[in-house]
């Protein structure tokens, strides 16, 4: 695997890390002897678009909290991630700020009493918008993968929505499921 390629699985991003463990991205990098990080570009409340509101189960235009990040593998941007939360969950918490959250957002959600028990992921491919192409350092004509993940609690309520955009030629998604 070259410096820019990455195989990712979703499971570590769905459960809180153990006490004193880094967030899932940091743990995944460390386990593979790689370096990288993330930059939080913006965080705060926005009006929920048709898509975001629909996936979070809130009225269109209602405030939701978003954390917009750029993820890096080595020094190369490898993913644009927008994570949305219902404002009733995230308003006034560290989820609404730009500071890094120790253990990651999943750990903070668990502290707040919100634990995911089911997840739904949809993966599509498309050509990137110009700002995505520039942010991800992809050439014209190179497609991106878009992963939309909705995490639901035990009452089947959406507690988190992730919208990720990744260079298709530098990413492989792996799904492993227990049968039975």
Average pLDDT, consecutive stretches of 10 residues, N- to C-terminus, the chain (180 residues): 48 57 60 77 97 98 97 92 98 95 91 94 96 96 97 97 95 79
Q: What is the pLDDT of residue 157?
A: 97
**34 Cβ contact partners less than 8 Å away, ≥ 6 residues apart:** 73, 74
Q: What percent of the chain has pLDDT over 90?
A: 68
**Could you tell me if 147 and 121 are in contact, meaning their C-beta atoms sit under 8 angstroms apart?**
yes
Cross-strand bridge partners of residue 160: 151
Bridge partners of residue 103, in order along the sequence: none
Tell me the C-alpha distance between 113 and 124, whole Å.
32
d(CA 35, CA 47): 35
Taking only the tens place, the pLDDT of each residue in 14-57 is 566 555 555 665 666 666 666 778 899 999 999 999 999 999 99
pLDDT at 173: 82
**How much is the pLDDT for 29?**
65
**Bridge partners, 97 (sequence order):** none
Query: Which pLDDT belongs to residue 103?
Result: 84
Provide the pLDDT for residue 17: 56
């Amino acid at each position: 695997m070259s410096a820019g390629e990455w195989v990712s699985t979703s499971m570590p991003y769905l459960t809180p890390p153990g006490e004193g463990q880094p967030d899932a991205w940091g743990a995944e990098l460390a386990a593979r002897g790689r370096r990288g990080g993330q930059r939080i570009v913006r965080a705060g409340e926005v009006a929920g678009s048709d898509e975001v509101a629909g996936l979070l189960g809130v009225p269109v235009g209602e405030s939701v909290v978003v954390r917009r990040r750029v993820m890096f593998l080595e020094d190369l941007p490898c993913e644009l991630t927008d994570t949305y939360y219902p404002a009733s969950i995230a308003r006034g918490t560290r989820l609404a700020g730009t500071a890094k959250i120790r253990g990651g957002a999943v750990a903070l959600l668990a502290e707040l009493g919100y634990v995911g028990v089911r997840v739904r992921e949809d993966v599509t491919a498309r050509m990137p918008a110009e700002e995505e192409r520039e942010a991800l350092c992809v050439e014209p004509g190179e497609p991106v993968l878009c992963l939309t993940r909705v995490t639901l609690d035990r009452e089947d309520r959406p507690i988190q929505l992730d919208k990720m955009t990744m260079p298709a030629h530098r990413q492989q998604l792996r799904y492993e499921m227990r049968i039975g």
